[in-house]
Chains A and B, each alone.
Chain A
Amino acid sequence: MRFFVWLRPVAFLLVLLIAWEIAVRMHPGLILPGPIAAFAGIFELMHHGLLLKYAVASLFRVTWGFVLACITAIPLGLALGWRRRGEIALSPLIELFRPISPLAWIPIAILWFGVGDLSAIFLIYVACFFPLLITAMSAVHNIPAVYINAGRNFGLSATAFVARVLYPAVMPQLLVGMRITLGVAWLVVVAAEMIAVNSGLGFLIVDARNAGNRYDLVLAGMIAIGVIGLLLDLAMRSLEQMKSFRWRSSEE
């Protein structure tokens, strides 16, 4: 019964929500609201147009930061993956900067860009740059030698080689890396907005708490963040499924 199989996770979630609501009702002094209040909060935000406005602000920053990182990190990563010496040279520096939380860049971001959109975009950029760089390098390493040799065998020029062998060969792994990095970007934008900016879903959470302990709105914000993040992930996954990128799975 296919329908019932799909019903099970939904039922599970409902059970958890009900348990949460009951737990909240049993502790009247608790500041944390229950799911009903949280969902009411979502409607309130939508009604005031705030949810859309803040979601768009967050998405705007993510898009810009992510795209800029893609444009810079991916070609660089592909080049480094190809030229081993370059990779050997820069690898220690990359490994040093990678574990630094993007948020640790906030003071520098504020110094260079002030408080606002540009700062947030810079943070997203930093957060996306290193994972994309590493993914691109790794993707080049993983190109089976047979493809490279075939490309050489057919006497392809450099540009033709990149377009007809390199690009299709790295695409599947790149897409997976991009999807994961987009997830990271979404996490970072929310955190960055909680600290350094005055709009967006992250700011919504901080503001709702500071200006009146509206924890129902805090939870509403968290739910919105979760849902949008999930949608972004699903959108990227559907991109991966497109036929021209799907050859990888048939290899395995």
Chain B
Amino acid sequence: MSEFKGPRTWEKFVWPIVAAALALAIWQYAVIWTGTKVFPSPMNVEKGFAELLHKHLLWADIEDSLRRVAIGYGVAALVGIPLGLCLGWFPSANQVVNPLLQLLRPISPIAWIPVAIIFFGIGDKPAIFLVFLGAVFPIVVACAGGVSNVPHIYRRAARNFGLSNLQLLRRVVFPAALPQILVGLRIALGIAWLVVVAGEMIAVDSGLGYLVIDSRNSGKRYDLVVAAMLMIGVIGLVLDLVFRRLETIKSVRWGFRNAA
């Protein structure tokens, strides 16, 4: 890079704080300067937060959203990982199934809502179905890719040592593919979080997504809207960080170039 010395450790804390403070200041100033009556200032949002916490609304909504993600994502992993591994291991199976996946993937899970409602009614289940749809494609693709990208050299070495097919899969292919699988799982979790919020804005009446839409519809409470948005961001970030932690485990760290 253009600086010879890399940034020192204190800088890793100072600069983000400076940037965040600057952003808050600009926000506050913009609200005052435009004299808007509706858009909240940082302080309005903070008060809104307190209000939500006080009314115990926030926890219930967070719980609902997380629950739907947990179930939908869990099912997506249970279905997607074996399916992806199979597709990666049997290229002929992949060749047959892949076009269908490529056709279904660009259809936003939200577009499935009418179909979901037919089969699951209204409430939790269609939201879980949407999360499943959103998460299953990245998981399948990552597992298939991870398996098919295992360097031939590892397979050859394993065969050299006389491993059977099953042993090869368990002791070589799976560990070799694991870094890529983990990345896919992390991305899928991020998508699941996006989808659940979106789904709650349309098809359900609880959860953080619903909170966003409802705060506006029932009273133009934009302070609550922004508070809910920030909450969504924070939880999504935490989920991502937890996953990144997994990527530092020694037996998969080799697969991540940037893991120090």
Partners in one complex: yes
Residues of A in contact with B (beta carbons under 8 Å apart): 5, 8-10, 12-13, 16, 30-32, 82-85, 88-93, 95-108, 110-111, 141, 148, 183, 186-188, 190-191, 194-195, 202, 205-206, 209, 215, 218-219, 221-222, 225-230, 232-233
Q: Tell me the bound Cα distance from A222 to B3 in angstroms.
A: 51
Q: Tell me if B100 and A16 are in contact (CB < 8 A).
A: yes
Q: Chain B: which residue is nearest A161 at the CB level?
A: B2
Q: When A and B form their complex, which 10 residue pairs have the shortest distance between CB atoms, in order from nearest?
A: A229-B106, A99-B236, A89-B15, A191-B110, A89-B19, A107-B216, A187-B108, A101-B197, A101-B194, A103-B198
Q: Given A82-B1, A99-B190, A106-B201, check contact A88 B118 (CB 8 Å).
A: no
Partner of B111, one of A8, A89, A191: A191
Q: Tell me if B16 and A194 are in contact (CB < 8 A).
A: no
Judge whether B35 is part of the interface by a CB distance below 8 angstroms. Answer: no
Q: Tell me the bound Cα distance from A218 to B229 in angstroms.
A: 30
A-binding segment of B48-56, B90-98, B161-169: B90-98
Judge whether B73 is part of the interface by a CB distance below 8 angstroms. Answer: no
Judge whether B114 is part of the interface by a CB distance below 8 angstroms. Answer: yes
From 231 to 255 in chain B, residues with beta carbon under 8 angstroms from any chain A beta carbon are 232-237, 239-240
From 89 to 128 in chain B, residues with beta carbon under 8 angstroms from any chain A beta carbon are 92, 95-100, 102-115, 118-119
Q: Tell me the bound Cα distance from A195 to B119 in angstroms.
A: 21
Q: Given A88-B11, A88-B15, A111-B39, check contact A221 B111 (CB 8 Å).
A: yes
Chain A CB within 10 A, most for which of B6, B95, B114, B228? B114
A215 surroundings in chain B (CB, below 8 A):
114-115, 118
Partner of B7, one of A31, A84, A232: A84
Q: Given A84-B3, A218-B115, check contact A104 B18 (CB 8 Å).
A: no
Q: Is the interface of A mostly helix, strand, loop or mixed?
A: helix
A252 to chain B minimum Cβ distance, whole angstroms, is 11
Q: Chain B: which residue is nearest A228 at the CB level?
A: B106
Q: Chain B: which residue is nearest A5 at the CB level?
A: B95
Q: Tell me the bound Cα distance from A69 to B6 in angstroms.
A: 30
Judge whether B129 is part of the interface by a CB distance below 8 angstroms. Answer: no
Q: Tell me the bound Cα distance from A102 to B1 in angstroms.
A: 33
A-binding segment of B76-84, B152-160, B173-181, B207-215: B207-215
Judge whether B259 is part of the interface by a CB distance below 8 angstroms. Answer: no
A83 surroundings in chain B (CB, below 8 A):
1-2
Q: Given A107-B213, A215-B118, A232-B106, check contact A8 B6 (CB 8 Å).
A: no
Q: Given A88-B11, A92-B16, A227-B103, check contact A12 B97 (CB 8 Å).
A: yes
* Count, A-B residue pairs, CB within 8 A: 184
Q: Tell me if B107 and A104 are in contact (CB < 8 A).
A: no
Q: Tell me if A225 and B229 are in contact (CB < 8 A).
A: no
Q: Chain B: which residue is nearest A90 at the CB level?
A: B19
Judge whether B202 is part of the interface by a CB distance below 8 angstroms. Answer: yes
Q: Tell me if A190 and B110 are in contact (CB < 8 A).
A: yes
Q: Tell me if A209 and B114 are in contact (CB < 8 A).
A: yes
Judge whether B43 is part of the interface by a CB distance below 8 angstroms. Answer: no
Partner of A9, one of B98, B109, B235: B98
A-contact 0/1 string along B15-31, CB 8 Å cutoff:
11011100100000000
B1 surroundings in chain A (CB, below 8 A):
82-84, 148
Partner of A104, one of B23, B113, B212, B237: B212
B216 surroundings in chain A (CB, below 8 A):
107, 110
Q: Tell me if A225 and B106 are in contact (CB < 8 A).
A: yes
Q: Given A12-B96, A91-B16, A107-B213, check contact A82 B2 (CB 8 Å).
A: yes
Judge whether B193 is part of the interface by a CB distance below 8 angstroms. Answer: yes
Interchain Cβ contacts under 8 Å between A and B, 17 examples? A12-B100, A13-B99, A93-B16, A95-B237, A99-B233, A100-B197, A101-B193, A105-B229, A108-B222, A202-B108, A215-B115, A221-B111, A222-B111, A229-B106, A230-B105, A232-B106, A233-B106
Q: Tell me if B229 and A230 are in contact (CB < 8 A).
A: no
Q: Tell me the bound Cα distance from A77 to B7 in angstroms.
A: 18
Q: Tell me if B229 and A104 are in contact (CB < 8 A).
A: yes
Q: Tell me if A32 and B237 are in contact (CB < 8 A).
A: no
Known contacts A9-B98, A9-B100; can you find 5 more A-B pairs with CB under 8 A?
A: A32-B119, A99-B233, A101-B232, A186-B106, A202-B108
